[in-house]
Amino acid sequence: MRQRTGDLGQELLNNFEQISARRQEWREIPEHKGLLRRDAELPYMPIPTTCGADGPYAVERLSANDLVAAAAVAVEGLMPPSETRYWLEPHHLVWVETEAHEAETGTILRALMIGMELKLASQAPHEVVFLDGSLTTPLISFQALDKSQDIPSFAT
């Protein structure tokens, strides 16, 4: 691996130099087609209202059983104070219980947390709602809920 670093470094440097040399040529193509504009030329767009939802979960393994918790919080605003506010305070959901020791507890809690995040996000009166993870994260996590008999009503 060390023997290849000198060659790889030179190859990367050559690639960067080629890009730098062709930069002006590549910029002229969209300029001639009228695709480049200054931001001052664009029409004014109002700033959308925003909120973000996120959450944690935890499993504390005790001697007799597990203490488990899952939560979600939705907080509004990327551009305070100019952005329109709908909530007086952040919205949240919390679930804390004791459970028997099970290997799937963490997986089920994660699915519960994601469900709470999505519930808060779906109820948000905002134009843009931020969630972390991918689009498939809830689908994958919700498969774990088939393993659980007692799912809190707010998570379904």
Taking only the tens place, the pLDDT of each residue in 129-145 is 999 877 777 777 777 66
Nearest to 75 by CA among 53, 57, 48: 53
List the domain boundaries for the chain: 2-41, 50-149
Q: What is the mean pLDDT of the chain?
A: 86
Percent of the chain residues past pLDDT 70, beyond the cut: 89
Using the predicted structure, report yes or no on whether residue 110 has a pLDDT greater than 70. yes
Task: Indicate if the alpha-carbon torsion angle 101, 107, 113, 118 is positive or negative.
Answer: negative
Assess whether the previous peptide bond of 90 is cis (omega < 30° from 0): no
Report the alpha-carbon angle 67-156-100, nearest 5: 25
- Contact call for residues 69 and 94 (beta carbons, < 8 A): yes
- pLDDT tens, residue by residue, 42-63: 888 888 889 999 999 999 999 9
pTM assigned to the model: 0.67
Using the predicted structure, report yes or no on whether residue 156 has a pLDDT greater than 50. no
- pLDDT tens, residue by residue, 4-19: 788 888 999 999 999 9
